[in-house]
Structures are given as C-alpha cells and as structure tokens.
Structure 1
Amino acid sequence: MIPFPEGLPRTPRARPARRPSRAPAHAPDATLLVVGLMSGTSMDGIDAALIETDGETVAGIGPHLTVPYDDAFRARIRALLGRTSLDDADGRRLHRDLALRHADAVRGLLAGATVTPDLIGFHGHTLWHDPVARLTVQAGDPAQLASELGIPVVADLRQADIAAGGEGAPLAPVYHAALAAPLERPLAVLNVGGVANVTWIGKRGVDDLVAFDTGPGNAPLDDWVARHTGQACDQDGRLAAAGRLDEARLLTLMDHPYFARPAPKSLDRRDFDHVPGVLEGLSAADGATTLVAFICAAVVQAAAHMPVPPTRWLVTGGGRHNPVLMETLAGWLEAPVAPVEAVGWDGDALEAQAFAFMAARFRRQLPITFPGTTGAPFPMVGGRLYQP
C-alpha cells in the first residue's frame, strides 16, 4: 500500500444536497435477450455480453467475450482521439471497421448458441467528449452493425442527455443500481477503466443515485508504462510496487481544476494529457507509483460529493487487477473495499452488460440518465433504434 500523503485532505468540501431522480414508475414487461457491446477508453478491445432483462431487473446472465484489439488497430483509434467529426476518409473507415469488428464479436459470443438476441446495445468507441460544447463523438456505425447482424441496435445513448445540458456520462449507474438491489446500501461502485467513475447508490436504488467521473483511471498509467517499458500495462502492479511516491508531484496533479468542480461531472480521456510533463524526470517505477496514487487520491476526493459515506466500495474495471491500486484504495478509503466479484458480479463483463440493460430500457422508454448521475434536467430516456 502507498502511504497516504499528509498534504492531501480526505474530504475537502462539504457534501452537497442530493437531487432526487424521480424516475417514473412503469408496469413490468416481458424480458428480452440483449447483447451489450463496449469499447472502453483503455482501448484494450471489445467486450460483448448477453443478459436477459426487462430493463428493471436482470433475469439471467449469459456468456461474456472479450476480443482484444491488435496493436495496429489500437494505433488507428489512438490517432483519431480528439476528433470532433468522422467526416473524413480516416473517420469513415474507422466508423465502418469498428462496426465490423463488433459484429464479429457478437458472432463469436453467440457461436454454438441456440438463441437469437432480441436487441443489441452498442456504445461504440468515444473519440471526443465535451459536455460544455454539448458534443460527444463515438466511432462505430450502428446502422452497419444492425445490417451485418440482422438484429435491431440501440446506440447513440449519450446524445439526448448531452443535448439537454447533461454530462452524458457516466451511463452505467442505472445498471449498478439494478444489480445492487439485494445489497446493503448506501454502496459505492467504482469503475477504474481508462477514466475512473463512481456510482453512489442509496437505499431507494434507481431513485437514489449520485455518479460522476472521479478522475484519471488506467489511461495515464498505461501510457506511462508503454512509454517507459514498451508494455501495454503495469502487469500485476509490479512496476508500481517497486517505486516510491513523489508527494509533491502528486499534489501538483491534484491541483487540476476538475477536482474543484461539483458533481455530476465527466471527463474526456485526454483531459490529463499534461500528466507526463508533471512526472518528467521520474523513474519508470516512481512514475507508476505516483500515478496509482493519483487514481486513488481522486477517488478519496470523490467521497466529498457523496450524500453520506458508503458502507462499502466495490471495484470493477481493469484497475481491480492491480494489487497496488486495490491495496491503496483499501488503506485510504474509510470503508471496506473489494472487487465486484465479492458479490457475484463479473467485473470483466459489467460494462457490456450495462449497455445491454440500457438498450432494454430504451425499448420500454425508461430513463437511463438522471439529475444525480449526469446533471440532466430530469430522468431521460437515451438512445436511438437502428433497424436491420
């Protein structure tokens, strides 16, 4: 575990009053078989998962599949990060090729299966996310995906929220709330992907949510490790375990204006592109240790935005595989910390399952974003249906 820096306050701001979600009630409906698809900010690959759901409860969990991106395709995505349009030749090509790769992932997921999904929930890959400009850009052509598979596709899940003045992220909280229904609450679900986000779930479930991006996730750490070692990530946290925290540089990183903003709030992967400059001159190991501390310090600060402290923290996303990160969170947070597998969830499938769940909610016209999760003016239905 990394020692907690003395200069870093645990709760620097008063906890804000919570805005109620007031989600409308709906009668139960038949369940659907839905495949969810996710290509995350870490650019690892495509996650595909099958669930059975009515959009309010999860009746069954099916198989899950991860299809890694090869280095060349990952480089193509990286080259287009920051694009606000897909109108040029490179953008159109990536838009098409991402859809084709997602179609192959669905075929792989369903190989040998005796069922045909009713619906696909498709996120695509975010190239640019700027809620202030009311713009979020995801590559991956949903119309082509629907045509390839012969299955209706629900996509464009962020756009309505962004257009209404919401943050458009995070989206998974509504699924976290459904899974957490039988658990003791209040509960925090922390997703450490390329960007990290948290869902605080109160006693009233979907009507009692606060969510936001906490700060950096694995993206700056992965970039640092790749630059200094040529490896894709800090496997098993070995590099961070060998280094020492540079507290002064951590405090400089935590001085970023994002952390002073009230929640709900969200980030783009490139919002922390300044990190390598702050860490310049550190050894590979010391930089990795300091970046793990940066992820964890941002999570500690996030507790200030929660209405009351959670009884426990459940961690999903790739970050839960880093022992140094998990040990540091457990030492710094004032509640038990465990991977989501501790309650029977699959952290490798969770985000893909969430997009399947949101597609089912779209079919029933149930909201997926709320004032407490994105700052939307009211609970909002999100998505657009693409028929084969």
Structure 2
Amino acid sequence: MQGKALRALGLMSGTSVDGVDVALIETGGEGVASFGPSLTVAYDDEVRRLIRGVFGAEQASAETAAAERAVTEAHAAAVRLWADRYAIPLASIDVVGFHGQTISHRPERRFTWQIGDGASLARTLGVRVVNDLRSADVAAGGQGAPLVPIYHAALVRTLPRPLAVLNIGGVANVTWVGEGDSLLAFDTGPGNGPIDDWCARRAGQRFDRNGSLAAAGKIDRTRLERFSEHRYFSQKPPKSLDRGDFTDSWAEGLSVVDGAATLTRATARAIALAARRFPHQVTQWIVCGGGARNPTLVQAIAAETRSEVVVASDLGWDGDALEAQAFAYLAVRSLRGLPLTFPGTTGAPRPMTGGRLHVP
C-alpha cells in the first residue's frame, strides 16, 4: 500500500550536458499526488568543459574529482536558485533524488559511473539525498538504464494502451507500456547527441534550434541505409548505450544542413527500428526530453514509425522536467524499498531497488 506522500525534489543532468533540471513532486512512491514547480539551470562553459573532459573515464583522477566537485556545486546552486525563485524553504523538502552526471556506462562489464557527491550535497542543502541509483542494477547484471519507465507507467495510468513514451536526450530511450502496466524499456539508439556534436563542430552552435538546419538539408539516403545496419539494432532488449556509442562521424563530408538532416532522420530511423521489438504495436508515441523541442525530429519520427506522435506538453506534462520528476519519484521508492528496475526494463534478474541514502 502506498505510504504517506513525501515532498521530493528531483535533479537530473543528461548526457547532452545542458545543465541541471530541478523539479518537485509529491508522491508515496506509486501514484503522483501533485506536481510542483520546475526549473532548468544551464551549466556554464567551464563546468561543461570539465564534464566533457572526463567522458569515458573509468578510474578516479584529479580530472574526475574536479568534474565531480563542479557537478555537485552546480546542482547545489541550481537547488538554491529554484528555492529562491519559488519561495520554497528547503526544510520543507523530505528527500532529494540526485541522478548525478553519467560519464561512463559499460553494463556489459558491470560498470556505470555517475559523478556527483551525494554526501556533500546533503550537507550543503541540509536535506536527505538519494543518489547512485543505477549501480545495484548493473552489479546484478542489469543494464542500469533506462530508470524512468516505472515513472512513465505512473503518468500514463489513464491513457489507452499499449503506448510508448519516448525520451530523447543525448541518447534516446523508450518505455512500452501495455495492459496491466506490463513494461518493456530500452535505449533505441542515438538521440540529440550526434546532432548536437555536428552542430557544435560544423555550425558553431550547441544544438539545432527548432530543427532549422535539418529542415533546410537533404537526407543522404545511402548513408541512412548503412546506418540502419548498425549491429545495435539487431540486439534484443533490454539494452542500453553510452553517450559515445553513436557519433556524428558517419556524416562527415556532407554539408552542414545535409549532415543535420541525415543525423536527425537517423535518430528517427533508430526509433522506428526499436518499435519492431514491441510485443504489440502502440496507439501513440509520447515524446519528451530535449528532442520534443525539435519539430523536424518529431515529424521525422511520425514519418518513420507511421504512427501518431504527440509531444509531452500536448498532454499537459512538463516534458522538460519529466526526468527530474522521475528521479524525485525514484528517490521515494528507494526510501520505501520499492523496486526501481525490472527484468523488462533493464534485464535485471528480478525487480530491484537501489540508491544510496545520505543524511545531512
């Protein structure tokens, strides 16, 4: 039975390294009683540089320690800014769910690393913090990702099934929700990561704003078909990716706009290939994450999947805050000893809880 609802603050920083999402919900760990305000606070360029400099690291070093300090301080600053803006005292928060920043994810070697010092954050904020939410799953042989599916299931309780919730960050992941909350979840392939990298290298901008570069370009169909043969797409789920597993290098030689168009269509193609793994076809796709703000990408997903595609905001969801809300939800589930991951979402051997609690 669901316990008393707690005020939980979720913090998320994805593989796109944009910044920190902060979001409040009230939940007992099953349904969601209410949604509070949210805020996104961009990383400054120095923090972004420190994080990018340790992508792929698997051993502690002076560089990973500096990046972890910067990440933890940026999260503390984001929480304070959120509390000031909405005049919400931190003493009224029961728990903070702190995802940290993934710098390396190699579940096939039972290794995943999210930098971020939970104990330091708890001391700084004076609030209980739950972090390290992936490690237990990975240690048991699961993929450790995606973690958000159980929250997706809580959000779609009143919608017709089966449906798919698609989260597009640096990597894209999908949650298929069937009758009776049956779940299947996995990373579909590249999300915004290769598109962002292409824009940074070739256009001097952090991302393709409104998909305008892609909209102006022509898709290289030959390269797209070759991309579709990537071995990842033939693997059965559960499966997950590291931010660096798909890059923009295969678009090299194309113009700026044609490369953007081709990479954007590739993200959509990977999503359509993922749908072949669903137990049943879905009635609709709900798109959230940064990719939901790219209309060219959303149109490409509709074309590739030949399905109805809506963005999370069409349903009244705060698509930008959804992952942060999910980590608030997972923190409460962790406190209550409820499972965070399942055989159908990460390939874990059994439903598993996780997370590490830090008390200020």
**TM-score bracket for the superposition, by shorter chain length:** over 0.9
Please give the secondary structure, in 2, of the residue aligned with 1:360.
Answer: helix
Give 1:72 deviation, angstroms.
2.1
Aligned to 1:155: 131
Query: What letter is aligned with 1:129?
Result: H
Aligned to 1:386: 358
Pick the aligned partner of 2:320 from 348, 359, 371.
348
Please give the secondary structure, in 1, of the residue aligned with 2:142.
Answer: coil
Aligned to 1:296: 268
CA distance in 1, matches of 2:201, 2:66: 28
Please give the secondary structure, in 1, of the residue aligned with 2:179.
Answer: coil
Per-residue Cα deviation, 1:286-323 (whole angstroms, up to 9, x for no partner): 00000011000000001111110111100001111111
Pick the aligned partner of 2:68 from 95, 105, 118.
95
2:93 aligned with 1:113: no
2:306 aligned with 1:334: yes
CA distance in 2, matches of 1:334, 1:220: 24
2:106 aligned with 1:134: no
Aligned to 1:104: 77
**Where do 5+ consecutive residues of structure 2 fail to align?**
none
Give 1:254 deviation, angstroms.
1.9
Pick the aligned partner of 1:50 from 14, 18, 24.
24
Please give the secondary structure, in 1, of the residue aligned with 2:328.
Answer: helix
2:202 aligned with 1:228: yes
Aligned to 2:150: 174
More off after superposition, 123-132 vs 249-258: 249-258
Give 1:70 deviation, angstroms.
1.6
Please give the secondary structure, in 1, of the residue aligned with 2:244.
Answer: helix
Pick the aligned partner of 1:193 from 139, 149, 169.
169
Give 1:341 deviation, angstroms.
1.2
Aligned to 1:358: 330
CA distance in 2, matches of 1:74, 1:97: 9
CA distance in 2, matches of 1:267, 1:332: 21
Please give the secondary structure, in 2, of the residue aligned with 1:28.
Answer: coil
Query: What letter is aligned with 1:130?
Result: R
TM-score by length of 2: 0.97
CA distance in 2, matches of 1:291, 1:280: 11
Query: What letter is aligned with 1:113?
Result: I
Contact persistence 1:46–1:105 (CA under 8 A): yes
Please give the secondary structure, in 1, of the residue aligned with 2:310.
Answer: strand
Contact persistence 2:199–2:207 (CA under 8 A): yes
Please give the secondary structure, in 1, of the residue aligned with 2:245.
Answer: helix
Contact persistence 2:161–2:283 (CA under 8 A): yes
2:176 aligned with 1:204: no
Please give the secondary structure, in 2, of the residue aligned with 1:250.
Answer: helix
Query: What letter is aligned with 1:385?
Result: L
CA distance in 1, matches of 2:25, 2:164: 23
Please give the secondary structure, in 1, of the residue aligned with 2:77.
Answer: helix
Per-residue Cα deviation, 1:162-204 (whole angstroms, up to 9, x for no partner): 0000000000001000011111111100011100000001121
Give 1:383 deviation, angstroms.
0.7
Pick the aligned partner of 1:287 from 259, 283, 291.
259
Please give the secondary structure, in 1, of the residue aligned with 2:258.
Answer: helix
Please give the secondary structure, in 1, of the residue aligned with 2:241.
Answer: coil
Contact persistence 2:213–2:256 (CA under 8 A): yes
2:292 aligned with 1:316: no
Aligned to 1:30: 4
Aligned to 1:79: 53
Please give the secondary structure, in 2, of the residue aligned with 1:64.
Answer: strand
Give 1:326 deviation, angstroms.
0.9
CA distance in 2, matches of 1:94, 1:63: 28
Please give the secondary structure, in 2, of the residue aligned with 1:125.
Answer: strand
Query: What letter is aligned with 2:120?
Result: Q
Please give the secondary structure, in 2, of the residue aligned with 1:65.
Answer: strand
**Where do 5+ consecutive residues of structure 1 fail to align?**
1-26
CA distance in 1, matches of 2:230, 2:118: 36
Count of residues in correspondence between the two structures: 357
Give 1:334 deviation, angstroms.
3.0
CA distance in 1, matches of 2:158, 2:246: 37
Give 1:332 deviation, angstroms.
2.2
CA distance in 2, matches of 1:158, 1:213: 15
CA distance in 2, matches of 1:292, 1:311: 23
TM-score by length of 1: 0.91
CA distance in 2, matches of 1:323, 1:28: 39
More off after superposition, 217-226 vs 245-254: 245-254
Give 1:100 deviation, angstroms.
1.4
Give 1:91 deviation, angstroms.
1.2
Please give the secondary structure, in 1, of the residue aligned with 2:206.
Answer: coil
Pick the aligned partner of 2:140 from 139, 158, 164.
164
CA distance in 2, matches of 1:137, 1:300: 29
Per-residue Cα deviation, 1:243-269 (whole angstroms, up to 9, x for no partner): 101011112222221111100100000
